[in-house]
Amino acid sequence: MINVERLSRFFLDLAHIESPSRREGKVASYLQEKFEALGARCLFDDSASKTGSEVGNLIVKYPEETSSPLLFMAAHMDTVEPTENPRIRLENGVFRSDGRTICGADDKSALAIFLEILHVLEEKGLRYPLEFVITTCEEIGLLGAKHLDYRLVDAPFGYALDSEDPDELINRAPEAIRFQIKVLGLAAHAGLNPEAGINAITLAGKAVSLVRLGRIDHETTANIGIIRGGTATNIVPEEVELLGEVRSHNHLKLEEEWEHIRSTFEEIVEAEREPGKDRPQVSFSREQDYPLMHVPEDHQVVRLALEAARRLGRKLKISATGGGSDANIFNGRGLPCVILGTGMRRVHSTEEYLPLKDLVRACELSLQIVLEAGAAAR
């Protein structure tokens, strides 16, 4: 059923359109033209005013008059950089760039699959009602999904095609917080009277050396990834800022890890503060990056994919991931969503590549999921 040559052409077309985050306008126009030619209705939400993108998220309803879609399939239209003047080729069954840019498989492989699915449905006269939710700014904090107008989404559950292995279904992903810590010391001349100063970097360094970072356990990780401080080599640094994150599949563990980090910094700073003095000080801020994702294995969205794989003579492995994606946001907004792979490899690098056979396997599975849902609805 899958037309491999057509699927390849869709991917190459998409991969040659530059669409780094916030510059998704051209790929959105390409998709709108293709989807509408297949009898779908394209809606753009107003998220661009919040994300800073050239365009809003794209919600595609197929066929045009559908009001009760069976399911949705999701992907994002932005990519990481470098993307300037991409040259993508299919050689020996593998899509690659010429080494200057990314390949674009993350996540344009999914977009090519969506177009091929609709072509097959049209050719077979199976106008099963579907939605496609295609976001912007996924690569810079899932901003499109966070600002999606969910009133435009009617499907009860869906699949995000945004992972590697086409024989894997991801139903669990951690929640994550981002945090900021500021340590305030006291500036002084580093050569004339360093004793009068309080070195904020030294205090922060003591605290960092004591907190647990990296893999805490099989469910939890923590990281401090950015440290900024000081103004000159001859000034005792007065202030330092640290930015980090905590992720966990267990909410209580996440909170425990954050409390460990916070209390460690407080103890270090308080131990250095002399009675009656207001320095040094430490302040904290945190925000949720994305919510926990855990779709039960007996949920329809999982069972449907497993049955589709069985029909194809395959077996999907059900897995957890340590990363966050649009699927976390969808689940947090009450839309059960699991993640499927498209074959993309070594993403976020100029070594990214996409085996055509894996792209085809992913397309076959996605199409079979639609066919299973349509048959069940009948």
Q: Would you name the residues annotated as active-site residues?
A: 78, 138
Given a contact cutoff of 8 angstroms between Cβ atoms, the answer to whether 302 and 339 are in contact is no
Given a contact cutoff of 8 angstroms between Cβ atoms, the answer to whether 133 and 74 are in contact is yes
Q: Which residues pair with 339 in a beta bridge?
A: 160, 170
**Phi, psi for 208 (deg, rounded to 5):** -60, -35
Nearest to 55 by CA among 65, 42, 67, 66: 42
> Tokens at residue 36, please?
């509408």
> Tokens at residue 3, please?
């037309």
Question: Is the sign of the CA dihedral 155, 158, 160, 166 positive or negative?
Answer: negative
**Phi, psi for 366 (deg, rounded to 5):** -60, -45
Q: List the beta strands (DSSP E) in the chain.
A: 41-44, 58-62, 71-76, 88-91, 94-97, 130-135, 158-163, 168-173, 175-184, 214-217, 220-229, 239-248, 281-290, 293-294, 317-320, 337-341, 353-355
Gap between the Cα atoms of 71 and 58, Å rounded: 16
> Tokens at residue 25, please?
């306008």
Nearest to 314 by CA among 322, 305, 323, 326: 305
